[in-house]
Amino acid sequence: MREIGHIFWRFLALGCTSFGGPAAHIGYFHRTFVDRLRWIDEAAYARLIALSQFLPGPGSSQVGFAIGLHRAGLPGGLAAFIGFTLPSFILLYLLAVYSVDYVHYPLFEGVASGLKLLAVVVVADAVLNMGSAFCKTRLHAGLAVLTAVCMLVLPALWMQFTALAFAALVGSRREEGTAQSGSDGVNWLSLALFALLFVGMPLASSWAPGVELFARFYAAGSLVFGGGHVVLPLLQQSLGEAVSTERFLVGYAAAQAIPGPMFTLATFLGAEMTPTQPIYGALLATAGVFMPGFLLLLGLRKAWETLATKPRVAGAAAGINASVVGLLLATLYQPVFVNAVHGPREMAAVVAGFFILRRLGMPIALVVVAFALIGCALHLM
């Protein structure tokens, strides 16, 4: 029980400070759980990232959930998820229930600007850390560069999948050996539950409003490949007129400005859709959008661990991880850099922050406070 509490508090601290979206979260997790705490080794972490790229759902939250699983089983995975998600859940719930007027206050805008600059620092740090870990050969460095070039020239979801698939193919052919069956270790109960909910919940949605709400968010979470930003069009299409476009965009903007997973946009939308019982709607929507990815990860994680030791599959995973570095590099420019750095003052803050984080080792909580203050100061100039 003590270990579960330890996992919860570690992820809660990250949930309070992990600004910058999925790309930054992967960097935070690597710095905390691979480099500093050594809860998981570099190879196992790389395999988790590779698996998360091919499963629907929130990639960075799946990695965090899997780290908790690795540490203390299912209770550890749930503790990691709750700790990492709780801060953004609370913030978006309060935003939905009370008021959004403060969003346009100069102080809020300044803090948001500073945190966007912090995201540049964190993603740049993640690119360097993961690049040194996953791009040790010319082949893997080339795959990373090729992915970044393709995504910068044509930033489309299909291009992302094409780049990942190409990197997997090149990596697998580079290694000798034959991949064996990976059926051992499959958790068929989790996969069956995923399929049952995916098919059954829409059919049962007429039973109660709560079932329909859960079913809408579960369907969206089952089909989202490519991270938090991709959930926007799927949720907008799934919810239709249940939430106004103005309120939808307010929630989406807030989800990007606060720490933690962007999928907690579902918290805001669930509360909006059930104004008489907002906490009920928020909990159902949040559970619905996260559950599919976690069920699939529970079902396939051990089989993936088995498969990933086979030479060709290990080569494919190495190619995918190199490609992920390229995706991070492209993300560093668009949307992170172009939406945060608008002049020499912002660039100066990024350079100084990068040095402080990478060379001086200042705790991330202090770095967050510093960038919030910098953002306010720059906004008032």
- The residue written with tokens 């090729």 in the block is 146
114-171 confidence digits (pLDDT tens): 877 887 887 788 788 878 888 989 999 999 999 999 999 988 767 877 888 899 899 8
200-228 confidence digits (pLDDT tens): 888 887 777 678 899 989 988 887 755 55
Give residue 287's pLDDT band: very low, low, confident or very high (50, 70, 90): very high
Please give the share of the chain, as a percent, with pLDDT higher than 70.
Answer: 88
What is the rounded distance in angstroms from the CA atom of residue 163 to the CA atom of residue 147?
6
Phi and psi torsions of 68, nearest 5°: -65, -40
Mark out the alpha helices in 98-187 (DSSP H runs): 106-134, 138-153, 157-174
Give residue 179's pLDDT band: very low, low, confident or very high (50, 70, 90): very low
Least confident of 201-215, 229-243, 269-283: 229-243
pTM for the model: 0.72
Residues with Cβ < 8 Å from 144, sequence gap 6 or more? Answer: 131, 134, 135, 322, 323, 325, 326, 329
Report how far apart, in Å, the C-alpha atoms of 280 and of each of 217, 239, 284 are: 14, 17, 6
Instruction: Say if CB 282 and CB 89 are below 8 A apart.
Output: yes
Instruction: Say if CB 19 and CB 122 are below 8 A apart.
Output: yes
- Domain-wise residue ranges, the chain: 1-108+136-338
- The backbone region for 308, taken as left when phi is positive above 0, alpha when psi lies in -120 to 50, beta otherwise, is alpha
Whole-angstrom Cα Rg for the chain: 20
| C-alpha closest to that of 177 among 320, 316, 318, 310 | 310
Q: What average pLDDT does this structure show over 327-334?
A: 84
Residue 17: exposure state from Cβ atoms within 10 A (0-12, 13-18, ≥19): buried
| C-alpha closest to that of 227 among 9, 14, 16, 21 | 21
